[in-house]
């Protein structure tokens, strides 16, 4: 019993030391930016700042009282809001706060609007629809800009593609464009509570990655059943995914118009597939929703949107360039 | 198989340990030795089985030759003992030279004669530098009739015993064979097991927590960064200085710890080398078994210090240039050996003149000399070495921000200078509880970091001296 106690105490001290070691060594992970949210599944920690660390960057990020990436200019109720929706490319923890798209846009438009970044990693159009419903007050809004990455978002709208290791997420299932059901994230469990507590320590991402690696090694396969490049290279039936994606865009447009018909909704699309572009183009034209294909506009402006070498997310310059593109296209006046 | 791998720690080591002592418990002594040799060869082959025939044929060749050298009084052959010994040494060096130095020779031949001979691109068989030196020493000992064991199984165990097979310590036949033969060593010794696990945990901690952390900073400076500020350059060189010490001494601790589980005491290889206050003392503290080999089998046979002062200098220089090239086939290694040889000559002259330095200043000069010469040892190309060295002495842009990383450097400096080394720590008479607590702490932290390295870099890091 005495030996057992010694071993337990020593192991706990080892864990404390390891946390300190991770925090002060090149093996730093950073601290999880999200916590459980009963409506979306996960949301950014509020009034929180930390570092995101990968091989090619170590960037300090910060979230405000709403859990949004901080603004360089304080919120002014006398100015109209511009809501930006998107995934981790838009949330952009790896980019210096002052250069993230909402702050770059604020600079481009000389601080004329309150640019608010509702980008959330791992979110697709269906989650963004719920974010718009539950988190955003549209009463002072003039523009809603949604970034869609077709190949990734076609996966994100389907709950089957949610990894068992991922945080809980809300989903929306459509029978047709008008009829849908919100599948709320699962109830908060002890696992979520413990995760949220642990997520303030470096050891949390370490444990998650260890379990993820072990699962992959033991199952000898990736956890995700479909990967992004599969959409480009294989013949997969995505009719349901397309319905969900189109349904989300349709409902976002409908919601905005129901609040105020003066609010302008614009969609900015990234895609490597001509076939997918053709499908979405036909749909958006039919719904009379304004859109651009980002890569085509960037090319016409001689802009190359570059990403980080280690994970492809847009770098600081790319965010500044996207802000220029938004201004150049006249999306926002 | 690597000491810092799950398969070694949780499968190979415990399985080998239990079967070895089970066979001894059943009084199957020869079978237990045979099992240990088999396990060691399995350990060797885990990485690449292709080179198993090389170590087996090398062992057989040296065993037969060693036996022949020892039995020369029986006059079965017409060759003189000396010619047999020379033949044995040349054969061993040819094998080593073919695998390790042939491409280096071709490269220089091409450069010198403007030819275009193709390189062989041979992969260096694991541990060849170590088992070659070990067996050369066995041949010389046989020639001097200082060996007594002539059973092939014992000889095979001496060469292949897995804790020391890959990267030393380079052991003498006479210090190993009596231990393998000692009956007391066939019984599990719980005190040795406790101390062995403690040393093994210290070594694992040194390797995966300390050395692999410094490896990240050293690699960044030497292989990734194109320009370095003066602070970054010093950080790079110091990182490698720390990495090399903690990596190799960590490996040695793990080897000593693993061997002690089998009641075998391996010689110590490091004794706080960075505490040295002169270069001669450094070589008495760094890779001690290599220094012993170079002294006994190169420096003394060349004449040592018995043939006048000038020959002594020549012998010192030759010994260290050979030591340099033993570490790697490259001019940077040769130059590193040359610098150390020159430093030893200067130190000898300094002493002859009766000059003295304050001890802290002597330490400062010695440590910085070692740190600077490691730059040549680490750099893949001359240009890399010159880039780092140039930046270390370019004081035009100095900005120092004290952060956690710098504090780690300062803490390690203080540890290296004032703290006891692992050989001294294990001699401390800890209570059983403290030893269990320390072993658990070091082992758990090391395992966590081992997992961390695997998931962040997707592989377990090799030991530096595996390349030599």
CB contact under 8 A, A25 and B213: yes
Q: Taking 80 as the threshold, does the pLDDT of residue A3 lie above it?
A: yes
Question: According to the model, what pLDDT value does residue A215 have?
Answer: 78
Per DSSP (E only), the strands in B215-364 are none
Q: DSSP secondary structure string, B235-275?
A: HHHHHHHHHHHHHHHHHHHHHHHHHHHTT--PPP--S-GGG
Summarize the confidence of residues A58-82 as an average pLDDT: 92
Window 367-426 of B: residues touching A by CB (8 A cutoff) are: 404-405, 407-408
Q: Taking 70 as the threshold, does the pLDDT of residue A226 lie above it?
A: no
Mean pLDDT of chain A: 88
Q: Taking 90 as the threshold, does the pLDDT of residue B442 lie above it?
A: yes
Using H for helix, E for strand and C for coil, what is the string for B58-80? HHHHHHHHHHHHHCHHHCCCCCC
Window 188-217 of A: residues touching B by CB (8 A cutoff) are: 206, 209-210, 213
Summarize the confidence of residues A76-83 as an average pLDDT: 93
Least confident range of A22-31, A198-207, B341-350? A22-31
B255: tokens are 């080897």
Q: Taking a C-beta distance cutoff of 8 angstroms, is the pair B273, B245 a contact? A: yes
Sheet with A141-149, edge to edge strand ranges: A114-117, A81-85, A141-149, A264-270, A290-293
pLDDT tens, position by position, B240-291: 999 999 999 999 999 999 999 999 999 999 999 999 999 999 999 999 999 9
pLDDT tens, position by position, A160-190: 766 666 778 899 999 999 999 999 988 888 8
- In percent, the amount of chain B with pLDDT more than 90 equals 43
pLDDT tens, position by position, A269-304: 999 888 899 999 999 999 999 999 999 999 999 999
Q: Taking 90 as the threshold, does the pLDDT of residue A147 lie above it?
A: yes
Q: Whose CA is closest to A56, among A94, A85, A21?
A: A94
Q: Taking a C-beta distance cutoff of 8 angstroms, is the pair A209, A165 a contact? A: no
pLDDT band for A9, please (50, 70, 90 cuts).
Answer: very high
CB contact under 8 A, B209 and A6: no
Dihedral pair phi/psi, residue A85, rounded to 5°: -110, 145
CB contact under 8 A, A11 and B453: no
What is the enclosing helix (H) or strand (E) of A133? helix A125-135
Contacts with A3 from chain B: Cβ below 8 Å: 433, 436
Say which residues have a Cβ less than 8 Å from residue B289's Cβ, sequence separation at least 6: B168, B169, B170, B171, B267, B269
Q: Taking 70 as the threshold, does the pLDDT of residue A255 lie above it?
A: yes
pLDDT band for B74, please (50, 70, 90 cuts).
Answer: low
Q: Taking a C-beta distance cutoff of 8 angstroms, is the pair A114, A81 a contact? A: yes
CA distance, residue B454 to nearest chain A CA (Å)? 9
Q: Taking 60 as the threshold, does the pLDDT of residue A83 lie above it?
A: yes
Per DSSP (E only), the strands in A10-102 are 34-37, 41-44, 48-54, 57-63, 81-85
Give how far the C-alpha of residue A166 lies from the chain's centroid of Cα atoms, to the nearest Å: 13
Query: Considering only alpha carbons, which residue of chain B is nearest residue A6?
Result: B437
Q: Is B340 a catalytic residue?
A: no
Summarize the confidence of residues A252-279 as an average pLDDT: 91
Pairing of strands A41-44, A34-37: antiparallel
Q: Taking 90 as the threshold, does the pLDDT of residue B395 lie above it?
A: no
Residue A13 has, within 13 A of its CA and on its CB side, a CA count of 13
- In percent, the amount of chain B with pLDDT more than 70 equals 93
Instruction: Tell me the sheet residues that pair with A266.
Output: A145, A290
Mean pLDDT of chain B: 87
Query: Considering only alpha carbons, which residue of chain B is nearest residue A12?
Result: B441
Contacts with A14 from chain B: Cβ below 8 Å: 440-442, 444-445, 448
B459: tokens are 């592989």
A317-321 long-range contacts, CB within 8 A, separation 24+: A317/A99, A319/A92, A319/A95, A319/A99, A319/A100, A319/A101, A319/A104, A320/A99, A320/A104
Chain A interface disruption, residue of B209, B220, B438, B448, most A CBs within 10 A: B448
pLDDT band for B166, please (50, 70, 90 cuts).
Answer: confident
Distance CA B394, CA B331 (A): 25
CB contact under 8 A, B440 and A18: no
CB pairs under 8 A between A and B: 65
Residue with tokens 């070691």: A21
- Residue A14 CA: distances (Å) to CA of A10, A17, B115: 6, 5, 59
Q: Whose CA is closest to A78, among A107, A102, A118, A113?
A: A113
Q: Taking 70 as the threshold, does the pLDDT of residue A229 lie above it?
A: no
Per DSSP (E only), the strands in A78-193 are 81-85, 114-117, 141-149, 171-174, 180-183
Q: Does A27 touch chain B (CB under 8 A)?
A: yes
Chain B interface disruption, residue of A26, A207, A209, A218, most B CBs within 10 A: A26
Q: Taking a C-beta distance cutoff of 8 angstroms, is the pair B465, B255 a contact? A: no
Question: According to the model, what pLDDT value does residue B16 have?
Answer: 96
CB contact under 8 A, A10 and B437: yes
pLDDT tens, position by position, B34-62: 999 999 999 999 888 888 999 999 999 99
Contacts with A10 from chain B: Cβ below 8 Å: 436-438, 440-441, 444
ipTM surpassing 0.85, yes or no? Answer: no
Question: According to the model, what pLDDT value does residue B149 have?
Answer: 58
Q: Please return the burial class of A166, using the count of CB atoms within 10 Å of its CB with bins 0-12, 13-18 and 19+.
A: middle
Least confident range of A81-85, B8-12, B218-222? B218-222
pLDDT band for A245, please (50, 70, 90 cuts).
Answer: very high
Q: Taking a C-beta distance cutoff of 8 angstroms, is the pair A224, A163 a contact? A: yes
* Most confident segment among A179-193, A284-298, B137-151, B223-237: A284-298
Distance CA B162, CA B13 (A): 10
Instruction: Tell me the sheet residues that pair with A57.
Output: A54
Burial B254-286 (b: 16+ CB within 10 A, else e): bbbbbbbbbbbebbbbbbbbbbbbbbbbbbebb
B284 vs B142, higher pLDDT: B284
Question: According to the model, what pLDDT value does residue A33 have?
Answer: 87
Summarize the confidence of residues A107-129 as an average pLDDT: 93
Q: Taking 90 as the threshold, does the pLDDT of residue A250 lie above it?
A: yes
């Amino acid at each position: 019993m005495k030996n057992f106690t010694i071993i337990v105490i020593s192991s706990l001290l080892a864990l404390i030391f390891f946390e300190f070691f991770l925090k002060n060594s090149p093996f730093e992970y950073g601290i999880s930016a999200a916590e459980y949210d009963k409506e979306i599944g996960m949301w950014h920690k509020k009034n929180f700042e930390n570092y995101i660390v990968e091989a090619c960057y170590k960037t300090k990020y910060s979230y405000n009282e709403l859990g949004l990436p901080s603004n360089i200019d304080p919120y002014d109720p006398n100015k109209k809001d511009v809501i930006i929706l998107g995934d981790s490319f838009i949330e952009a923890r790896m980019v210096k706060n002052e250069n993230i798209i909402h702050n770059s846009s604020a600079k481009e438009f000389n601080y004329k609007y309150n640019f608010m970044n509702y980008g959330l990693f791992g979110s697709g159009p269906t989650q963004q629809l719920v974010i718009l419903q539950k988190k955003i007050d549209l009463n002072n809004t003039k523009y809603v800009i949604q970034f869609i990455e077709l190949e990734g978002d076609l996966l994100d709208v389907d709950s089957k593609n949610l990894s068992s290791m991922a945080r809980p997420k809300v989903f929306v299932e459509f029978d047709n464009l008008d009829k849908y059901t919100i599948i709320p994230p699962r109830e908060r469990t002890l696992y979520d509570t413990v995760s949220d507590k642990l997520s303030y320590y470096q050891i949390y991402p370490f444990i998650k990655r260890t379990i993820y690696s072990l699962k992959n090694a033991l199952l000898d396969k990736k956890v995700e059943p479909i990967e992004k490049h599969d959409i480009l290279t294989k013949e997969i039936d995505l009719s349901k995914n397309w319905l969900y994606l189109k349904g989300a865009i349709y409902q976002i447009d409908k919601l905005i118009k129901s609040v105020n018909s003066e609010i302008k909704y614009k969609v900015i699309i990234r895609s490597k597939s001509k076939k997918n572009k053709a499908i979405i183009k036909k749909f958006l034209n039919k719904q009379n929703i304004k859109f651009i294909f980002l890569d085509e506009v960037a090319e016409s402006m001689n802009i190359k949107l570059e990403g980080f070498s280690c994970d492809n997310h847009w770098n600081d310059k790319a965010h500044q360039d996207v802000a220029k593109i938004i201004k150049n296209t006249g999306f926002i006046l | 198989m690597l000491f810092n791998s799950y398969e070694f720690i949780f499968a190979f080591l415990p399985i080998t340990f239990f079967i070895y002592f089970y066979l001894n418990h059943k009084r199957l002594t020869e079978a237990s030795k045979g099992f240990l040799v088999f396990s060691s060869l399995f350990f060797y082959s885990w990485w690449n089985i292709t080179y198993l025939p090389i170590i087996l044929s090398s062992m057989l060749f040296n065993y037969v030759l060693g036996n022949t050298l020892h039995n020369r009084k029986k006059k079965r052959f017409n060759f003189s003992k000396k010619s047999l010994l020379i033949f044995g040494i040349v054969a061993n060096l040819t094998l080593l030279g073919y695998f390790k130095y042939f491409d280096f020779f071709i490269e220089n031949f091409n450069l010198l004669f403007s030819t275009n001979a193709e390189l062989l691109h041979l992969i260096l068989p694991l541990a060849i530098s170590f088992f070659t030196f070990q067996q050369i020493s066995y041949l010389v000992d046989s020639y001097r009739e200082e060996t007594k064991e002539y059973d092939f199984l014992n000889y095979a165990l001496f060469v292949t015993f897995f804790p020391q097979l890959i990267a030393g310590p380079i052991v003498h036949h006479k210090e190993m064979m009596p231990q393998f033969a000692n009956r007391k060593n066939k019984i599990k010794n719980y005190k040795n097991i406790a101390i062995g696990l403690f040393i093994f945990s210290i070594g694992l901690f040194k390797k995966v927590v300390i050395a692999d952390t410094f490896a990240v900073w050293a690699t960044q400076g030497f292989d990734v960064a194109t320009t370095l500020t003066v602070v970054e350059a010093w950080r790079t060189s110091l990182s490698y200085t720390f990495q090399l010490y903690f990596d190799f001494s960590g490996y040695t601790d793990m080897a000593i710890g693993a061997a002690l589980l089998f009641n075998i005491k391996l010689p110590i290889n490091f004794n706080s080398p960075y505490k040295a206050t002169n270069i001669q003392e450094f070589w008495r503290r760094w890779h001690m078994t290599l220094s012993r080999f170079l002294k006994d089998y190169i420096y003394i046979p060349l004449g040592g210090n018995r043939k006048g002062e000038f020959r002594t200098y020549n012998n010192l220089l030759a010994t260290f240039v050979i030591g340099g090239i033993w570490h790697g086939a490259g001019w940077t290694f040769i130059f590193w050996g040359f610098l150390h040889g020159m430093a030893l000559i200067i130190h000898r002259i300094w002493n002859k003149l009766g000059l003295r330095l304050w001890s802290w200043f002597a330490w400062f000069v010695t440590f910085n000399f070692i740190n600077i010469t490691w730059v040549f040892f680490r750099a893949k190309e001359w240009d890399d070495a010159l880039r780092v060295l140039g930046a270390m002495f370019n004081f035009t842009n100095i900005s120092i921000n004290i952060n956690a990383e710098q504090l780690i450097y300062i803490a390690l400096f203080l540890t290296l200078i004032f703290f006891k080394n692992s050989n001294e720590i294990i001699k401390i008479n800890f209570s059983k509880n403290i030893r269990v607590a320390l072993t658990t702490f070091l082992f758990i932290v090391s395992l966590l970091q081992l997992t961390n390295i695997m998931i962040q870099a997707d592989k377990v890091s090799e030991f530096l001296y595996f390349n030599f």
